[in-house]
Amino acid sequence: MIQTTKEGALYRIGCGAGFSGDRIDAPQAVVAAIAAGGGGAIIFETLGERTLALGHIARRQDPSKGYEPRLKDLLEPILHVCISAGITIVGNFGQANPPAAAALIQQIADRLALGTLRIAIVSGDDLTDKVDLAVTERWEGDRRLPPIDGEIIAINAYIGALPIAEAIKVGAQVVVTGRVADPALALGPLLAHFGWDWTDLDRLAAGTLVGHLLECGSQVTGGFFADPGFKDVPDMADIGFPIAEVEADGSFVITKPEGTGGVVDLRTVKEQLLYEIHDPAAYLTPDVTLDITGVQLAQVGKDRVRVTGARGRPAPNTLKATIGYYGDWLGEAEISYAGPNALARAHLAVETITARLARRGLTLRHRADIIGAVSAFDNEGGHLSLGYTDAGSGDYRVRFAFGSACKRDVEHAVQEVNALYCCGPAGGGGVRQSVRPRVRTVSHLVPRHLVRPAFHFFGEES
């Protein structure tokens, strides 16, 4: 792909979703802006650690499921424009079942009379039953978590940008992946477009940085940012999702579609630059070790921040793999106390439940938070709540949480909170309750030779 004009040398890549529950109408403005610029790519990052395990469970129950449940809603409104304007779609919305996601995308294309698309399916991340965990090492951040004590649902390695780039080079219009490193969703199309060499570590680092800043969607354009009077964000109801305008040397500008809400400034970009970063000199990905300590930011226009200075070193020899396994049952139940002496009544409710659990011999993990006093910051022992007092009146919600391998015990505990309606302190109201199973995750480091990233086109043999 040789670009001759200066304008043509710019490659636009946007983000349509930063997590599985993201705003469904956000991709449309991004796609319109990229189309107006002459094409490019849009990425969708919809795969959390737990989401993937849930996808595996869904696929076991129905072999045609296990991909992002909102895939149709995300792609149907934009597929036509993407295909006609030459915008490559890359998403990890394949979750645990990329072939099924590809089949759905082709169905949407058929309905829209777009013909047969070139949909690439990336594989190799699924290591379930393919790796002996005994010979792998725990990822350092999870070393203190307890041993895996439940049935393993799935093991997926974070694979890199190579299969994405190769698929696009041979004509993929849509690339469906399962678990890949989030920034690889952007690095793949950039490698394909600019033809960067695999040994050009600073270019791999730059493309990885593009992906890092884009992959959480609006988190770089004013989402997860507003703090009234300190960090004000215009039109939060219509935050524009980000677009990176990337040059051949890897420098780029982060911006958003014109006419949308949100803001792109040094503050939003700095917050996202450090988001989920540990050592800023060594952000480990399957493709490169990214060093952001030399990154320079400059506001070069309204809602335009130029980013330069990413540096790369060789990628680690191991790949991170996340293991999802069945965990315990989580029960939650809440009740409100308001008005005079409400805090004392809330505390009495907590004491009463503790006593009831002991009396009924329910030996489960439990915790109570008094919302309105101290809750989000507190620990399981209620350390911060101990010193909390009020002026004798308030509006509190007591939130109980119970965890156990035994579903019935959790149900009994939750029912005890419901019984506070009649047997608890005066004036307790608004009980809400739920009991649900949990999936736990822990990450290990897997030698690269055990992982074989690849791709094939939908409708062709893998």
> Which chain residues interact with another protein by CB under 8 A?
49-50, 139, 141-142, 144-145, 224-225, 227, 229-232, 263, 265-267, 270-281, 292-303, 327-328, 330, 365-367, 369, 371, 375-381, 383-384, 399, 401-403, 438-443
Strand (E) or helix (H) holding 61: helix 49-61
Closest distance to another protein from the beta carbon of 302 (Å):
6
End-to-end CA gap in the chain: 27
For the sheet with 40-44, list strands across it. 296-301, 304-308, 252-255, 243-246, 11-17, 40-44, 87-91, 174-176, 119-123, 454-457
Residue with smaller CB distance to another protein, 24 or 145: 145
Residue with smaller CB distance to another protein, 203 or 399: 399
Closest distance to another protein from the beta carbon of 383 (Å):
4
Tell me which amino acid residue 250 is. Answer: G
Q: Which residues contact 261 (CB under 8 A, 6 or more apart)?
A: 222, 233, 234, 235, 236, 237, 238, 239, 240
Structure tokens at 5: 């004009």
From residue 48, alpha-carbon distances to 126, 435, 439 in Å are: 15, 22, 12
Residue with smaller CB distance to another protein, 81 or 297: 297
For the sheet with 289-291, list strands across it. 283-284, 289-291, 311-313
Residue with smaller CB distance to another protein, 82 or 307: 307
Closest listed residue to residue 231, CA positions, set 267, 195, 279: 267
Residue with smaller CB distance to another protein, 137 or 142: 142
Residue with smaller CB distance to another protein, 45 or 166: 45
Rounded Cα distance, 418 and 422, in Å? 8
Residue with smaller CB distance to another protein, 126 or 332: 332
Four-residue CA torsion sign, 228, 237, 68, 186:
negative
Closest distance to another protein from the beta carbon of 303 (Å):
8
Closest distance to another protein from the beta carbon of 146 (Å):
8
Closest listed residue to residue 252, CA positions, set 216, 214, 219, 217: 214
As a residue count, the chain comes to 462
Rounded Cα distance, 416 and 356, in Å? 7
Closest distance to another protein from the beta carbon of 78 (Å):
28
Residue with smaller CB distance to another protein, 203 or 306: 306
Closest distance to another protein from the beta carbon of 371 (Å):
7
Residue with smaller CB distance to another protein, 166 or 409: 409
Pairing state between β 318-340 and 152-157: antiparallel
Closest distance to another protein from the beta carbon of 4 (Å):
30
Burial of 359 from C-beta contacts in 10 A (0-12 / 13-18 / 19+): exposed
Closest distance to another protein from the beta carbon of 259 (Å):
16
Closest distance to another protein from the beta carbon of 319 (Å):
15
What SS3 class is residue 348? helix
